[in-house]
Amino acid sequence: MLIDTYGRVATDLRVSLTDRCNLRCTYCMPEEGLQWLAKPDLLTDDEIVRLIDIAVTSLGIEEVRFTGGEPLLRPGLVGIVERVAALDPRPQMSLTTNGIGLKRTATALKAAGLDRVNVSLDTLRPDVFKTLTRRDRHKDVIEGLYAARDAGLTPVKVNSVLMPGLNDDEAPDLLAWAVEHDYELRFIEQMPLDAQHGWKRDGMITAGDILTSLRTRFELTPEGAEKRGSAPAERWLVDGGPHVVGVIASVTRPFCSACDRTRLTADGQVRTCLFAREETDLRAALRSDAPDEEIARIWRLAMWGKKAGAGLDDPSFIQPDRPMSAIGG
C-alpha cells in the first residue's frame, strides 16, 4: 500500500513514457522545444513494465495512466500496454495524448488492452489551434478522436485549456460539439507548469469563468461529491443528462485532500505530486539490481513524505523545475 501521513492511499499511477512532444503548446513549452532526456536516462520498456508490476502486485495500484510528453511517440507503447494488461491483478489502463497519432494506433492499442483515452483539444478552430500549439495539426487530432471512439477506447475524454484572448470564448461551442460526438469534455485550469515560468494567476480563466460561460447555453446540475470520489474533475449533468462536463480546478478549487495519485517520470523518478519539487530515484535501484521488495520500500517511503497540498494558494509558491511535458499530466 502507498499511504501518506495524512491517510491518503495512492491507487492511481501516472507513468510518463517520454518527455518528447510533437506540439509546442504555449502553456507548456517554448517554441524551440526543450532539452530532451538522453536515451540512456530513459527507462527501458522492461524497466517500465517491472515498476508497474511492482506497483500493481505489491503496492495496491489499480489504475495506470500512460502520459508524456506525448506517449504515442514511444516506439514500444503497444507492447508495454499488452504486457501490463497481462498482469495479475490487471489494472485499468488509460492514456493521455494530443491525439495526433491516434488514427493509426487506436485499433492496435485497444487490441493490446488499453481501456480508454484522454485527448487534449483546446479549440474547434484550426487557426487558433495553430496559434496555441505552433503546429498545423488540428485535422489530425479530430481524426484521432474519431478513431479512438470507433476502436472502443471509451469513454473518450477531451481535455481543454482556455487561454485569455485566444479560445476563452469557446467553452459553450466545445461542449455542444462534445455532446454531439459523445465525448466527455473536461476543462482544465491553466496550471503553473510551463517551461518559461510565464504563468500568472491574474488573468487566468478560472473554473467560475468557465461555468458562467457554459450556463449561457446549458443547464448544469452538479453530480455531487459522492459521485466524484477522488477524481480531479467536478462534474455536471448537461441539460439533465446523460452527458456530463467536468472542470479540473487545480488552482482555484484544489482537491489535494482526496488525491490518490503517484507519478513516475520517464527517467524513473517518483513524484508524489504534479507540483512537487522533490523526486525519489527508482531508476538507480533498478539498475543496481535491487530486488522488487527494496524498490517497493523506496516507493513507500517516498509516498509517506507526501505533502498535504500543492501549495498553489501560498504566495511563496515556486514552480517545479520540470515543465508539464517532462512529468506527465
Annotated binding residues for GTP, written as ranges, equal 14, 65, 96, 157, 261-263
Q: Phi and psi of 92, rounded to 5°?
A: -70, 140
Q: CA 317, 321, 322 angle in degrees (round to 5)?
A: 120
Q: CA 243, 245, 248 angle in degrees (round to 5)?
A: 155
Beta bridge partner(s), residue 116: 94
Place of cell 494567476: 201
Which pairing describes strands 220-222 and 234-238: parallel, antiparallel, or unpaired?
antiparallel
264 burial (CB, 10 Å; 0-12 / 13-18 / 19+) is buried
**Nearest CA-CA partner of 168 in 115, 120, 125:** 125
Distance (Å, rounded) from C-alpha 174 to C-alpha 146?
Answer: 16
Which residues 6+ apart lie within 8 Å of 268 measured at CB? Answer: 43, 47, 51, 281, 282, 283, 284, 286
Q: Phi and psi of 270, rounded to 5°?
A: -85, 130
Peptide bond just before 242 cis, omega within 30 deg: yes
Distance (Å, rounded) from C-alpha 138 to C-alpha 129?
Answer: 6
User: Residues within the annotated binding site for [4Fe-4S] cluster?
Assistant: 21, 25, 28, 256, 259, 273
User: Residues within the annotated binding site for S-adenosyl-L-methionine?
Assistant: 27, 69, 120, 191
Torsion region of 119: left, alpha or beta (phi above 0 gives left; psi -120 to 50 gives alpha): beta
Neighbours of 297 (CB within 10 A): 14
* CA distances from residue 290 to 66, 283, 297 in whole angstroms, order as listed: 25, 10, 11
Residue 119: CA atoms inside 13 Å, Cβ hemisphere, count? 30
User: Residues within the annotated binding site?
Assistant: 14, 21, 25, 27-28, 65, 69, 96, 120, 157, 191, 256, 259, 261-263, 273
